[in-house]
Amino acid sequence: MTSIKLPYGKEHVSLEIQEERLNAVLVSELHHYKPEVGQTELVKNAMDNPIGSEKLCDLAKGKEKIVIIASDHTRPVPSKIIMPLMLEEIRKGNPEADITILIATGCHRETTKNELVQKFGEEIVNNEKIYIHDCDDDSMLVKLGILPSGGELIINKLAHEADLLVAEGFIEPHFFAGYSGGRKSVLPGIASRQTVLANHCSEFIADPKSRTGILEGNPIHKDMMWASRKANLAYIVNVVINAEKEVIYAVAGDMEKAHAKGCEFLSKLCRVKAVPADIAISTNGGYPLDQNIYQAVKGMTAAEVTVKQDGVIIMLAKSNDGHGGDVFYNTFRDEADIKKTLDLFMSRDRNKTEADQWQSQVFIRVLQKARVIYVSDSDDQTVMDFHMIPAKSVEEALKKAEEILGNSKATVTVIPDGVSVMVIE
């Protein structure tokens, strides 16, 4: 038997599998990469040697209003390391700068005070100006033009009015934007709901270039880049993290050039070749990315690439924060025929895209490839409403998968962290 640890919430569970059934364990080399220096020094070195940009302290000189875009509670960005260094660097160049930390919630719920403290620490939360973006608050939004796709670019007023706009973030594989980080701080991070919906339209989600690890020719990425340039995003600090959410690499500087360098590093370590199997087991990398069913779709897309047609995906995601969105949930609860739902999505104009349609569209693609058994803390009815099969342990899920396939020796490919790898066919 082979024992494999799988992240689940803030803990791990163990999968025991016979060696002869195990086709492969697809693991990102990120988890084995050991940097020569510590986390803080990595970020500081990146900021001391910005790519395609002046240092942040020099950019800050003479700037009165400075806005730092920061990720929200759904992203494991090590802000306790990054943010103090950015604040220090800004004040080194301009001690009197009026600094606002703008939380990029996208279309997510508001970040709580406790989540801010967990993210930044009490000192920053108690002493810095922090504003949480609300994609539906028209009083705090401003129109900047028309995206290449035809959607309207509307972003947070604080970012637009800043004399200097900068951002922190992290780079990981992204299931339709190619990679996270960089330009995503602006779109979807601080954009209006209308803008996000237009960018995440069914046509773009269906595009074969809108996939993990692809930037060239990706229409979603093209819109995001245009939006960030229009917003004058001048400088970023982005990191790559391992399974322990520790910084192993950092870049700083120009929004496009620094991000490209980070993506290049990441790609070398986390591209893995698909190994087809009857059963594919994946996770969302544990907390904080496995807090709801909505986010768990990302980890499923890694399994989607390596599972055989009409096979079974076993997805582990604690989902202690529920399903992640009423519209997302109702889409699957209220219609038994997922093909009808997909046809409806594809018939919609990009400017009439509805909330969470993109996630539903990707999820339908997964469900059309394989049955999904969902291991979580969610109640069984909620899981079934999503057209999935509930299970409370990986052992129970594996048994159910064997029953579905009618094969107690069905082959298995395991992806311990489905959001840290780029599985390539």
Active site (annotated) includes residue 31: no
Half-sphere exposure of 356 (CA within 13 A, CB side): 19
CA separation for the pair 290, 299 (Å, rounded): 9
Catalytic one among 160, 174, 221, 323?
174
Q: Which two tokens stand for residue 107?
A: 């279309």
For tokens 């934007």, the residue is: 177
Catalytic one among 108, 133, 160, 200?
108
Active site (annotated) includes residue 133: no
Question: Which residues are within 8 A (CB) of 352 and not within 5 positions of it... i.e. 6 or more apart?
Answer: none
Residues with catalytic roles: 108, 174
